[in-house]
């Protein structure tokens, strides 16, 4: 059996594919199915180590991006998109997978087009409250559609769509508490705030936290993922802001949190501050209260819609970028961390969003479709 995966060039698209690939490998072993051959088709491999570890063969195809604003790049990208479809069709014909699983975005368009022409079954998954343009188009002819937010179901044919939740990698689904304080060099019995701005950090969140630090560190410890490009400037500003502060060692900035550091940070955190992307579902799996600061001008406004749909379940509060002042963020942290009833309600609410079996549900469906297609 051959299963081809495809998705855009961001972690929000790539890592759910990895979670499903893990589940495919595990499910195939459990059900004594011959280990499928896995492929990843995109314009870049994103994380070659992850692909290597799961024995996933990368197939490179060009991909053009259609921007919603005027740009000369749109003209050239039409040709790139067309050429990508030709390359994808040739590669898809040679591989001829039994099923294609896609996460959407512009890099998945050539693979979707090739699979449609060759009449290969397509299963898509969408992580947002409102699907992107490529997934909205593919949903019209996809064999099955899985969604992370139940609100997204209305954009797809009712007989095809399933609310599975978000596939989250096995290695970060569960928190690590044992040894976390020692590993992260934290004080016992002092609440921890975990701030996640993504791999590149989030400048507006960084600025607000830095301004609020002197007050926060009187009551809390702060683990702050600031992004590799920002680490030196953040450290410099923090050193100035905290000069002479009795608790300046409670601030722990990181350029990037490794998997074990992330799980341990989650294991000792009282609240998480994050953007409104796929990290929402990791926070839900961890069962932690959160403050979500969505990007104001994200594509299709999907981060704001994700954030408010998540908050509507009671698991988080949303602070708009325009309202993100040091005072407001400090007040929200106090309201959540210092009120056990609020914190407990938010933790309980995460259970409604965290679908820890999402990857396995999708993997089983892919194997089922793949086996039936293989036997035709």
pLDDT tens string 335-356: 999 999 999 999 999 999 999 9
pLDDT for position 338: 96
18-47 residue pLDDT tens: 999 999 999 999 999 989 999 999 999 999
Look at residue 73 in the predicted model and tell me its pLDDT. Answer: 64
| Bridge partner residues of 100 (DSSP) | 4, 122
Regarding beta strands 144-147 and 122-126, do their DSSP bridges make them parallel or antiparallel, or are they unpaired?
Answer: parallel
Structure tokens at 372: 């039936």
At residue 81, the pLDDT reads 87
User: How many angstroms separate the CA atoms of 108 and 61, rounded?
Assistant: 10
- Nearest residue to 4 (alpha-carbon basis) of 94, 127, 84, 134: 94
- d(C-alpha 292, C-alpha 279), whole Å: 10
Give the architecture-level CATH label for domain 2-168+356-374: 3-Layer(aba) Sandwich (3.40)
Length of the chain in terms of residues written: 376
Q: Which residues of 257-274 are buried (b: 16+ CB within 10 A; e: fewer)?
A: beeebbbbbbbbbbbbbb
Is-same-fold flag (2-168+356-374; 172-350)?
yes
Cα separation of the two ends of the chain: 12
Of 106, 65, 109, 103, the C-alpha closest to 89 is 109
Give the pLDDT confidence score for residue 63 in this predicted structure. 83
Average pLDDT over residues 118-125: 97
> Quick check: 62 and 83 in contact, CB under 8 A?
yes
For the segment 290-319, the average pLDDT, to the nearest whole number, is: 90
Q: Give the confidence band of 71 by pLDDT, cuts at 50, 70, 90.
A: low
Helix, strand, or coil here: 133?
A: helix
Check: pTM over 0.85? Answer yes or no. yes
Tell how strand 37-42 and strand 99-102 pair up. unpaired
pLDDT more than 70, % of the chain = 93
**Could you give the C-alpha distances from 342 to 84, 197, 235, in angstroms and in order?**
50, 24, 33
Whole-angstrom Cα distance, residue 73 to residue 251?
A: 43
Contact 107, 82 (CB under 8 A): no
The residue whose two tokens read 């975005």 is: 105
Superfamily of domain 172-350: Glycogen Phosphorylase B; (3.40.50.2000)
168, 362 Cβ separation under 8 angstroms? no
pLDDT band at 75 (very low <50, low <70, confident <90, very high): low
**Sequence-ordered list of residues with C-beta below 8 angstroms from that of 340, at least 6 positions apart, any chain:** none
* Ranges of each domain in the chain: 2-168+356-374, 172-350
The string of pLDDT tens digits covering residues 140-149 is 999 999 999 9
Q: What is the spatial order of strands in the sheet that 122-126 belongs to?
A: 56-60, 37-42, 2-6, 99-102, 122-126, 144-147, 161-163
What distance in Å separates the CA atoms of residue 75 and residue 66, rounded to the nearest whole number? 9
Residues 6+ apart with CB under 8 A from 26: 360, 363
Residue 233 has, within 13 A of its CA and on its CB side, a CA count of: 9
| Angular region, 287: left φ>0, alpha ψ -120 to 50, beta rest | left
pLDDT 10s digits, 193-243: 999 986 665 888 999 999 999 999 999 999 999 988 889 999 999 999 999
For tokens 């053009």, what's the residue?
64
For residues 157-181, average pLDDT: 94
CB 252 within 8 A of CB 216: no
Among 93, 140, 82, 147, which Cα is nearest to 115's?
Answer: 93
The two beta strands, 161-163 and 99-102, are unpaired
Residue 370: its pLDDT value, please? 93
Of 348, 255, 331, nearest in space to 291 by CA = 331
Residue 12 pLDDT grade (very low, low, confident, very high; cuts 50, 70, 90): confident
Answer whether residue 129 shows pLDDT above 60.
Answer: yes
Q: What is the pLDDT of residue 203?
A: 86
Average predicted confidence (pLDDT) for the chain:
92
- Looking at per-residue pLDDT, the higher value among 116 and 74 belongs to 116
């Amino acid at each position: 059996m051959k299963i081809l995966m495809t998705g855009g060039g961001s972690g929000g698209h790539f890592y759910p594919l990895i979670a499903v690939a893990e589940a495919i490998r595990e499910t195939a072993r459990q059900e004594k199915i011959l280990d499928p051959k896995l492929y990843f088709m995109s314009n870049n491999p994103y994380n070659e180590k992850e692909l290597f570890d799961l024995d996933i063969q990368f197939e490179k195809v060009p991909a053009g991006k259609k921007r919603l604003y005027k740009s000369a790049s749109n003209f050239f990208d039409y040709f790139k998109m067309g050429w990508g479809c030709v390359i994808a069709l040739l590669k898809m014909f040679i591989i001829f997978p039994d099923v294609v699983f896609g996460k959407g975005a512009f890099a998945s368009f050539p693979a979707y087009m090739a699979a449609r022409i060759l009449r290969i079954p397509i299963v898509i998954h969408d992580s947002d409250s409102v699907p992107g343009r490529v997934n909205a188009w593919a949903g019209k002819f996809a064999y099955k559609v899985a969604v992370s937010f139940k609100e997204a179901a209305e954009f797809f044919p009712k007989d095809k769509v399933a609310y599975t939740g978000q596939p989250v990698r096995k290695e970060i689904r569960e928190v690590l508490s044992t040894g976390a304080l020692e590993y992260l060099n934290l004080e016992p019995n002092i609440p921890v705030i975990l701030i996640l701005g993504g791999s590149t950090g989030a400048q507006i969140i960084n600025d607000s936290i830095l301004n609020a630090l002197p007050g926060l560190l009187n009551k809390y410890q702060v683990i702050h993922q600031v992004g590799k490009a920002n680490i030196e400037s953040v450290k410099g500003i923090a050193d100035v802001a905290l000069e002479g502060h009795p608790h300046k060692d409670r601030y722990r900035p990181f350029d990037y949190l490794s998997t074990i550091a992330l799980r341990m940070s989650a294991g000792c955190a009282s609240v998480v501050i994050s953007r409104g992307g796929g990290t929402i579902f990791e926070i839900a799996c961890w069962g932690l209260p959160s403050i979500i600061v969505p990007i104001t001008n994200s594509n299709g406004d999907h981060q704001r819609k994700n954030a408010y749909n998540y908050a509507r379940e009671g698991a988080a509060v949303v602070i708009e970028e325009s309202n993100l002042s040091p005072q407001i963020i400090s007040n929200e942290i106090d309201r959540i961390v210092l009120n056990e009833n609020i914190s407990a309600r938010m933790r309980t609410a995460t259970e409604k969003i965290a679908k820890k079996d999402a990857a396995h549900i999708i993997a089983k469906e892919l194997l089922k479709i793949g086996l039936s297609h293989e036997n035709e």
